[in-house]
Structure 1
Amino acid sequence: MSIIEKLNWRYATKKFDTTKQLSDSQLETLKEAFNLTALSYGLQTLKMVVVGDKSIRENLVAISYGQRQVADASHLLVLCIQNEIDTDDVEEHFDTIKAIRNTPDEILNPFKEQLKSTIETMPYSKKSDWATKQAYIALGNLMTVCAVEEIDSCPMEGFLPEELDKVLNLNKYGLKSVLLLPVGFRAEDDMFASLKKVRKPISDTVLEL
């Protein structure tokens, strides 16, 4: 299939086949895709928690408004932001650049100091909002990769983050959840799989100047 055919194949899966599991290779592909997501300033202030344990995921159904996908999918991907984003994140990022590219300090330092100043003066609420927007970029990237790999997925905002954070003990890792993405394989009797996509004509959604 072409990329457009695969995007047409993709849909927000309502019912997963509980007997099918992602292979280790497929799971690694999704981890790599998450890690390669384009993010603002190149700072990776996101984490992805992969929940495979069925019993844990059963405990998340009630706090996901009864949506069975979180338990019935092969795995649940939880996209999280850091509770705190500070200049240590900037230092770590530039240390990584230097280690991988061997870029001299005289080239890196001006941008590093500018970014540290930006992070230092950014209010907490703005940092949280900014990081959450980055999580949506990662979500879109993961959904596209899932489509290409013919892995079914269902993006979710409908859950109680604070309750989920308690169940997964995310505060221990300095994280809070913002988005969910159950991944796996559609059930044969999911009626939504065969429905035609409902989209406006491209002429109504794309403006060419």
Structure 2
Amino acid sequence: MSIIEKLNWRYATKKFNDTKKLSVEQLDTLKEAFNLTALSYGLQTLKMVIVEDKSKREKLVGMSYGQRQVADSSHLLVLCIQNEIDENDVDEHFETIKSIRNTPDAILSPFKTQLKSSINEMTVTKKVDWATRQAYIALGNLMTVCAVEGIDSCPMEGFVPKDLDTELGLEALGLSSVLLLPVGFRAEDDMFADFKKVRKQVSKTVIEL
């Protein structure tokens, strides 16, 4: 299939086949895709928590307003933001640049100073908003990769983050959940799989100047 055909094949899966699991290779692809997501400044202030344990995911269904996809999918991907974003993240990022590209400090220092200044000027609320927007970029990237790889997914905002964070022990990791993405394979009797896409015509959503 072409990429457009694959995006048409994709839908927010309502019912997963709870007996079919992602392969190790498919899961590794999603991990790498998450890690390769294009993020602001190149800072990776997101984490993806993968929950495979069925009993753990059953406990999360009630925190997700009864949405069975959380438990019936192959794996649950939890996109999280760091509770603290500061100069340490900037230092780590530029050390990584140096180790991979061997870029001299003389070139990196001005950019590092400017980025630290930008981070320090942000309020806590602004940092949370900024990081959360990055999580949506990662979500979109993962959904597209899933479609390309023939993996079903269902993006979710509908859950109680604080309860889920407590259940998964995310506070101890310095993380807060912002989005869920159950992944796996659609059930044969999910009637939504055959519904035609409902979208406006491209001419009504794209403006060419």
Aligned-partner Cα distance in 2 for 1:204–1:167: 44
Tell me the equivalent position of 1:27: 27
Equivalent position SS for 2:78? strand
Equivalent position SS for 1:176? strand
TM-score, with structure 2 as normaliser: 1.00
Structure-to-structure mapping, 1:61-72, within 5 angstroms: 61-72=61-72
Equivalent position SS for 2:60? coil
Aligned-partner Cα distance in 1 for 2:54–2:6: 29
Tell me the equivalent position of 1:207: 207
Alignment gaps of 5+ in structure 1 = none
Tell me the equivalent position of 2:174: 174
Aligned-partner Cα distance in 1 for 2:128–2:29: 28
Aligned-partner Cα distance in 2 for 1:18–1:145: 21
Tell me the equivalent position of 2:106: 106
Tell me the equivalent position of 1:9: 9
Aligned-partner Cα distance in 1 for 2:111–2:69: 43
Structure-to-structure mapping, 1:110-125, within 5 angstroms: 110-125=110-125
Matched, 1:44 2:39: no
Aligned-partner Cα distance in 2 for 1:121–1:87: 11
Aligned-partner Cα distance in 1 for 2:15–2:103: 49
Matched, 1:75 2:78: no
Q: Which amino acid aligns with 1:116?
A: K
Taking every aligned residue pair, what percent have the same amino acid on both sides?
Answer: 78
Q: Which moved more, 1:131-140 or 1:113-122?
A: 113-122
Aligned-partner Cα distance in 2 for 1:140–1:148: 13
Per-residue CA deviations over 1:158-208 (Å, capped at 9, x if unaligned) read 000000000000011100000000000000000000000000000100000
Equivalent position SS for 1:103? coil
Tell me the equivalent position of 2:189: 189
Aligned-partner Cα distance in 2 for 1:67–1:128: 26
Structure-to-structure mapping, 1:80-159, within 5 angstroms: 80-159=80-159
Tell me the equivalent position of 2:160: 160
Aligned-partner Cα distance in 1 for 2:120–2:157: 29
Aligned-partner Cα distance in 1 for 2:122–2:82: 15
Aligned-partner Cα distance in 1 for 2:98–2:120: 22
Aligned-partner Cα distance in 2 for 1:129–1:90: 18
- Structure 1: which 4+ aligned runs deviate by more than 6 Å? none
Aligned-partner Cα distance in 1 for 2:144–2:15: 19
Equivalent position SS for 2:181? strand
Equivalent position SS for 1:21? coil
TM-score, with structure 1 as normaliser: 1.00
Query: What RMSD in Å do the two structures reach over aligned CA positions?
Result: 0.3
Aligned-partner Cα distance in 2 for 1:61–1:149: 26
Alignment gaps of 5+ in structure 2 = none
Measure how far apart 1:121 and its partner are: 1.3
